[in-house]
Amino acid sequence: MAQMVINTILFLLIAWFFASRLLPARDVRTIDAADLKKELGNKKVQYIDVRTPLEFHAHHIHGFKNIPLHELKERAHELSKEQEVIVICQSGMRSTKASKLLKKLGFQQVTNVTGGMNAWR
């Protein structure tokens, strides 16, 4: 009986861990690659790519600034909290984390590109 309770608790913790990483961030707008193509070039929007520099230099979208996810907290001052920020990565996982972080840091308008560069190609 005790083992069953422990297994249930462990299962719930693991499920919560993965769900919290896969669910979209609260108050973050999501767009797909097709919507991004329509929005590119808007001078009022800040575009950031949170992939590694190596990934970014191999292939990136013109107009995006590379701020790797692991540097975002320290480099967030390079962005305006009053302007919309559109975030992309390779698959959408890191950009989701980045979007959550930006909201936590006080950015008002954050948009995540679902599917990331995989969907862009």
3-state secondary structure 57-98: HHCCCCCCEECCHHHHHHHHHHCCCCCEEEEECCCCHHHHHH
Domains located in the chain, CATH noted: 26-120 (3.40.250.10)
Confidence band of 10 (pLDDT split at 50, 70, 90): confident
Give CA separation, 83 vs 32, 38, 66, 107, 118, in Å: 20, 18, 17, 8, 26
Find tokens 């862009």 and name the residue: 120
pLDDT tens, position by position, 49-88: 999 999 999 999 999 999 999 999 999 999 999 999 999 9
pLDDT band at 16 (very low <50, low <70, confident <90, very high): low
Select which of 89, 101, 102, 117 is catalytic: 89
- Would you place residue 18 in the very low, low, confident or very high pLDDT band (cuts 50, 70, 90)? low
Task: Provide the pLDDT for residue 20.
Answer: 57
pLDDT band at 35 (very low <50, low <70, confident <90, very high): very high
Residue 55 a catalytic site member: no
- Positive or negative: CA dihedral 19, 20, 24, 27: positive
